[in-house]
Amino acid sequence: MSTTATPARAPHGGLPTGHKPAQGRVGAGLFDPGQLLKSLPDAFRKLDPRVTAKSPVMFVVWIGSVLTTVFSFRDPGDWFGWTISVWLWLTVVFANLAEAVAEGRGKAQADTLRKAKTGTVARRLTRDGAEERVPGTELTIGDLVVCEAGDSIPGDGDVVEGVASVDESAITGESAPVIRESGGDRSAVTGGTKVLSDRIVVKITTRPGETFIDRMIGLVEGAARQKTPNEIALNILLASLTIVFLLAVATLPPFADYAGAHLTMVVLVALLVCLIPTTIGALLSAIGIAGMDRLVQRNVLAMSGRAVEAAGDVSTLLLDKTGTITLGNRQACAFVPVSGTTEAELAAAAELSSLADETPEGRSVVALAKEEYGLRERREGEPAGAEWIAFTARTRMSGVDVDGRKIRKGAAGSVVAWVREQGGEVPEDAGALADRISGAGGTPLLVAVEDAEGARVLGVIHLKDVVKEGMRERFDELRRMGIRTVMVTGDNPLTAKAIAREAGVDDFLAEATPEDKMALIKREQAGGRLVAMTGDGTNDAPALAQADVGVAMNTGTSAAKEAGNMVDLDSDPTKLIEIVEIGKQLLITRGALTTFSIANDVAKYFAIIPALFAAVHPGLNRLNIMGLSSPDSAILSAVIFNALIIVALVPLSLKGVRYRPVSADRMLRRNLTIYGVGGLIAPFVGIKLIDLLVSAIPGIG
């Protein structure tokens, strides 16, 4: 049995949910320059030292800005001190701006979600079965509420009675309604969504203020975002580098005094700010917020930044077969006649027996007969006088009695038994054909007829799980990432092996039970690998909780959503592949900008150090390879570049560095080439250009 459900179809043939982007959300990964202006007030509010202190690097810059401002007030005529002070404050503001822009996009999404929070009146059922109207805010866990067409669902819960069409556009952005029904894996409903038809009874599973929408709002606004282990480790590294450079700068005044040079506090602060890794220190928080934001833009809610990072380090991917690797519905792909029967005769009988079969398999038989064998489409009421035989679990057959003929279609054993009951004989090759189709991973359906010539088997319909287009290529990409894919299915090993071979997965787990999935995840984790999986049923909850990245479908049960650390609002199981790519993009972006930040500090050394001591040690002029015009312009140019590069990198930190599925070695070489070498070259060019502009100002050059 499959572990994930395909998205529920809307009534009257509507499209399944999850096949178009959410409406009313900020464009995925897009950078809006206008957002910079909108976020400026927040950037200035973040100058509060209690906020700035959360980033050790930028807190040092903040303290330096205060010191230079104080010394500038002591010497109001010192234009150099005032200019340095202004650009140091701008450096802090630009760092705050990067974080404010990232948070601003989350707030825009939160505003959209708040519109879904409406004050509703709930029709709560009392113990004697009567209804009472109460405010939705008074509902408690375990309450039963009735919702009918036109009602808003007052809180998160599970459908315990009935089936209804529900509009979830306020949550997913998808206009097509979905089906929610009691039992099974599509019973969960979300507060704020609207019932479009029928009547359901919902059991409330959350308290007011703790609903799914409330959690979403808190997460996308960044209020609940905690620093991840990697982010904490990088902050510690940056703080350590800052302390090292702080000690190094603190030792310079005695050496300078001994050499006959005097270093002012303004110059020392400027040197310190240019030496410490301010670029990555300014952008680090924005990178983390933007990573979660990219998931939200794809309608995936990450319960923590840790889950996003874990997705980037995943090495084993558990994917359900039905609805993920395959389309989820078996399709007729061939009519295989027994000896003495033609394909056309078999196709005509198969089509006739399937006209009243509204299952996806039945419709595919009719479509195949029409497309491949030119059989005309029959109109409603044809054939006249037909008596349709519905499929039942007992008979395992369906068919039609018409014009003195009886046609049956169904499981091989059932059809064979029916033919023999009618006094007919079964050809020897019928069993062989069915076994061959089963061995290939397909499902055989026998077609038989009883007419004036007696009862006989006409042949076999080959049903197969259709692998989604492009899945093999996507698995090849995952393999190049170093990720091992495992298909999980309830099918028998023979069928599972055939599907796995066609799809191109690395391994498969057949006849999987919840215990089997748990055992597989634990084995992978024991080997030091991180595991990701999808699920939607209550029976998936233990495995989702055990996996490092557990993606629960929004169509699934509350237990599954509580167990996972991500929820896919579109309930598209293939999105797990995108989640892995976003996680890797987050890690790559952080690494690339860290490399760039540390590399561009080298150019600042060549700008400032010669300028400080060239007057007393003329030999240091050889290090002035940029040919900067004067010590003052060199220091000022380095400080200005240090501030402007933060603004220049804001779009990249929000969009993320483009991820390509290559090996770790190639990725490292590529990033070192682009961001390492680029981080060395860009400051030389930028500082020189700024120096040319600064030196043209009278009194500086």
- Digit-coded pLDDT (tens) for 308-326: 888 888 889 888 777 677 7
Instruction: Using the predicted structure, report yes or no on whether residue 17 has a pLDDT greater than 50.
Output: no
Of residues 700 and 17, more confidently modeled: 700
Residue 211 inside a domain? The answer is no
Distance CA 47, CA 53 (A): 10
Average pLDDT of 442-465?
87
Which residue of the set 158, 185, 320, 465 is catalytic? 320
Q: 460 and 336: one domain?
A: yes
Residue 307 inside a domain? The answer is no
Q: 361 and 448: one domain?
A: yes
Residue 2 inside a domain? The answer is no
Burial call 354-372: b when 16+ CB within 10 Å, e when fewer? bbebeeebbbbbbebbeee
pLDDT, position 263: 79
Instruction: Using the predicted structure, report yes or no on whether residue 234 has a pLDDT greater than 80.
Output: yes
Q: 473 and 462: one domain?
A: no
On whether 395 is known to bind a ligand per the annotation, the reply is yes
On whether 495 is known to bind a ligand per the annotation, the reply is no
Q: 346 and 444: one domain?
A: yes
User: Please, which pLDDT band fits residue 640 given cuts at 50, 70 and 90?
Assistant: very high
pLDDT, position 1: 34
Phi/psi region, residue 459 (left: phi>0; alpha: psi -120 to 50; beta: rest), is: left
Domain boundary (466, 493, 518) is at 466
On whether 451 is known to bind a ligand per the annotation, the reply is no
pLDDT, position 131: 86
Instruction: Using the predicted structure, report yes or no on whether residue 459 has a pLDDT greater than 60.
Output: yes
Distance CA 371, CA 163 (A): 35
Q: 456 and 552: one domain?
A: no
Cis-peptide into 383, omega within 30 deg: yes
CATH code of 551's domain: 3.40.50.1000
User: Please, which pLDDT band fits residue 447 given cuts at 50, 70 and 90?
Assistant: very high
Q: 557 and 599: one domain?
A: no
pLDDT, position 215: 66
Q: 374 and 459: one domain?
A: yes
Instruction: Using the predicted structure, report yes or no on whether residue 329 has a pLDDT greater than 80.
Output: no
pLDDT, position 248: 86
Residue 525 inside a domain? The answer is yes
pLDDT, position 9: 33
CATH code of 420's domain: 3.40.1110.10
Residue 6 inside a domain? The answer is no
Q: 346 and 449: one domain?
A: yes
CATH code of 168's domain: 2.70.150.10
On whether 370 is known to bind a ligand per the annotation, the reply is no
pLDDT, position 93: 92
Residue 175 inside a domain? The answer is yes
Q: 321 and 279: one domain?
A: no
| Average pLDDT along the chain | 79
Domain boundary (569, 598, 617) is at 569
Contact in structure between 174 and 18 (CB atoms under 8 Å): yes
Domain boundary (171, 205, 239) is at 205
User: Please, which pLDDT band fits residue 30 given cuts at 50, 70 and 90?
Assistant: very low
Beta pairing partners, 463: 332, 443
Of residues 398 and 20, more confidently modeled: 398
Q: 240 and 93: one domain?
A: yes
Instruction: Using the predicted structure, report yes or no on whether residue 393 has a pLDDT greater than 70.
Output: no
320 given a catalytic annotation: yes
Distance CA 522, CA 16 (A): 34
**Total domains, the chain:** 4
Distance CA 590, CA 98 (A): 14
Residue 23 inside a domain? The answer is no
Residue 233 inside a domain? The answer is yes
Q: How far, rounded to the nearest angstrom, does the alpha carbon of residue 684 sit from its chain's CA centroid? A: 39
On whether 378 is known to bind a ligand per the annotation, the reply is no
Of residues 512 and 272, more confidently modeled: 272
Q: 389 and 439: one domain?
A: yes
pLDDT, position 306: 78
Of residues 259 and 496, more confidently modeled: 496
Tell me the two tokens of residue 379: 């109109």
Q: 588 and 508: one domain?
A: no
Q: What is the DSSP string of 128-165?
A: TS-EEEEEGGG--TT-EEEEETTPBP-S-EEEEEEEEE
Percent above pLDDT 70 for the chain: 83
On whether 393 is known to bind a ligand per the annotation, the reply is yes
pTM of the model: 0.65
Range of the domain at 366: 331-466
User: Please, which pLDDT band fits residue 5 given cuts at 50, 70 and 90?
Assistant: very low
Percent above pLDDT 90 for the chain: 9
